[in-house]
Structure 1
Amino acid sequence: MKFKLQHTDKATKARAAKLTTDHGVINTPIFMPVGTAASVKGVHQRELREDIKPDIILGNTYHLFLRPKIDILEQAGGLHKFMGWDKNILTDSGGYQVYSLSANRKIKEEGVKFKSHIDGSLHLFTPENVMEIQRSIGADIIMAFDECTPYPCEYQYAKRSMFMTHRWLDRCMAHLKKVPFKYDYEQTFFPIVQGSTFKDLRIQSAEYIANAGAEGNAIGGLSVGEPAEEMYAMSEVVCNILPEDKPRYLMGVGTPINILENIALGIDMFDCVMPTRNARNGMLFTSHGTINIKNKKWENDFSPIDKEGTTFVDQEYSKAYLRHLFVANEFLGKQIATIHNLGFYMWLVREARERIVQGDFASWKNSMVQQMDKRL
């Protein structure tokens, strides 16, 4: 992987960069649509390629491990070939799923024992086998195995968890050296900063992760219920420590406003299920605020979904038509809404990049935050 910093905003710490892997160029800042189980929900790969056009999407180790299972992915030649996607993929190591399965898992120094949410079968994730699993999945960027702490979290628990995440990182890196690439391209490894919302722990973890010398770095354990101000404070602390010449990935974030504010702090990469999940429930993101398309107020509104025309569906479908599809429970409604939301997120980060290059990112960001912080 190669990372080239191209522009830095003078008024903020926002960056525009180019990240290159064997599956192509990723222009940052970037949002990664979440394709948890080898599918971005409700969207064909053709629509991803031709309409939404992300440089990279995300898959999940936990879900892919349970279904379709690793042997199927290996027989297919890796996740790219299995799902028919020839651009970049990043895989989360499963740490967040371990966090979300709190009733069905036990965390020990060895790793995490958990019950499958599908059939209740018992499994063990360790730093070592998670690296092997991600080799078999074959993503371009793979993540360290970590523990994502809940919010709120007691200081001593967060501290113990952070140190264990650091020990697990050492085991991940040692084991990766023993496990060769499975396919005809390279993989890049990112460790993860933890420490909950405690500044001293975040500093300590960021320094440890920076010293690991990986080609990129991630920030985990945020967007788990903490106020946005605490998220921004932790991002700022960590970005001040992580090296400038390597990409920074803030995991699981977030709303369009969260993304813009974190870009201003120096974050390069984002992912979140919000655009797809909210779309299926009729919540649309636009450049002028959020829309609940199921509300009666849109029944005879024949204007585009977003009057700025941020996605191709804005030219083809009106609010009234999309509301009709939701009221009639037509699947097409959820599909159009999903394409719109993903397209809007991609427009947002691409426009942010253009503004960084042009030099007016700060004023544009402040204006966009005000506009998007509305319910229409």
Structure 2
Amino acid sequence: MRIVHTSDWHLGKIVNEFSMLDDQRFILKQMIDFLVQQKAELLVIAGDLYDRSIPPADAVSLLDEVFYRITVEAGIPIIAVSGNHDSPQRLNFASRIYERSGLYVEGIYNKTIRKITLQDEFGNIHFYCLPYIEPAIVRADFPDEKIHSYDDAFRTLIHHNLTEIDLTERNVLVTHGFFSYLKNPDAVERSDSEISIGGSDLIDASYVDMFDYVALGHLHRQQKAGRDNIRYSGSPLKYSIQESTSQKSITTIEMREKGELSIKKYGLTPRRDMRVLLGSFEQLSNAANVQGNREDYVYAQLTDDSLIPCAMDKLRTVYPNIMGMELIGRKHEFDASVSAAAAVKNKTPQELFEEFYSAVKGEEITDSRRTMASKLFSKLQGGYDDETN
């Protein structure tokens, strides 16, 4: 069976006040064409179909159109689970009716993991569909278990469902979350928006070793989670500056007899890329220096060491879809002049202020201002008499 694995569409997403809907429509059309050309037999979507629990009407219409074109027009079944951005109840609406057209959507968590069985020339393939889970929800179903973390919740669920998994046949898990082997949790890459405090959402990937393939969603970079057959497909588009250097792709899995599968990646070409521009304001604001598509979503990193009035407005005349700007020349100057944290502890407020003044103004503080600052700090510390000058 030829399976295509994708996730994290985030339909309706807005990035830096730019709606991504047209870009999403473009990339999903490309995905549909790919499914047809590759003669795919199943599309798996591992969560976060929408960007928020109450998606805009245009995003709902787009998903409806895409599902219709894939299942009805192309005749390719879909298996999808909800992610942490989706509303489980909304995504699950009318799902039993949709199954008649080959659309299997598992939006709501169930303590008995939903199993969908499909066949090919080698026999059965069992797809276990587990939506994004919260520890509190799982804890309610297993009051006798100590469930305090995502890892506890997932381990309990898998243990509860082990007897339902026939290890002599092919089994695929479709789920959404942060999986990595606990002995090396940093083996997977996450952007700033995907990082939880202290890795509190981490789930040990060793719990899913019994599956022939694990289709994961949640992380936006295409990557494996410890083993080649435990994979994140990544999002089809770049949704943050941290993803600017990553190549978006779609993952195909060719499943043959038990234990035999091949995995390939195919690159996706967006309507507009998201990239970082580095240079001086004079260089980047000159239309003659434009490289690549000027319609791309860009972040400008200016090497200038002084503020530039109306810089964003001027850059937008060259790059109409500029999303942000950073004055890294001034930042480096400031970083170089401020002492390390350990040294700061040994300096007085007066000394720290003088360093800050020099970094910001680009000049040494004058004697009169040094005296004025000294009096102010003395007053704040309780050693300054209001009646004296």
Q: What TM-score results when the alignment is normalised by the length of structure 2?
A: 0.39
Q: Which has the higher helix share?
A: 1
> Which structure carries more relative contact order (alpha carbon 8 Å, separation 6+)?
1
